[in-house]
Amino acid sequence: MPALLILNYDVTDPQRLDAYRRAATPVLLGPDAGELLASTDRTVHLSEGGRPAGGTHTVVLRFADAEQARTVYESEQYRELLEERLAATRPFTAMIVPAL
């Protein structure tokens, strides 16, 4: 069953995030990885339960299944790059959602 990897954050260092994106694209996307469904800096949040809103930027990637999404996200290759994204953003959420 396909699964979505959803990342949401505010960008604090655009140049550093651009460098991360250039390095992370071949790891996250491709025949053995995911497919980019959406990447936007215009996320609209709806308030529920008094929780704080999330970030302005959202990325949605589709993988063959949740196991593949987790394998790519937790891979040594991506974990080395993740520190760059975290340093260039204020992260709000990262989740894997099985798609129906």
The whole-angstrom separation of Cα 6 and Cα 24 is 15
Instruction: List residues bridging with 45 in a β-sheet.
Output: none
Q: Does 54 score more than 90 pLDDT?
A: no
What is the per-residue pLDDT for 38? Answer: 96
pLDDT digits (tens, 9 = 90+) for 69-82: 999 999 999 999 99
What is the per-residue pLDDT for 100? Answer: 72
What is the per-residue pLDDT for 51? Answer: 64
The whole-angstrom separation of Cα 71 and Cα 96 is 11
Structure tokens at 97: 């959602």
The string of DSSP letters for 44-81 reads -----TTPPP--SEEEEEEESSHHHHHHHHTSHHHHHH
Q: With CA atoms as reference, report the closest residue to 27 among 75, 65, 91, 59.
A: 75
Of 96 and 50, more confident: 96
Confidence of residue 52 (pLDDT cuts 50, 70, 90): low
What is the per-residue pLDDT for 47? Answer: 75
pTM for this prediction: 0.90
Q: Does 64 score more than 70 pLDDT?
A: yes
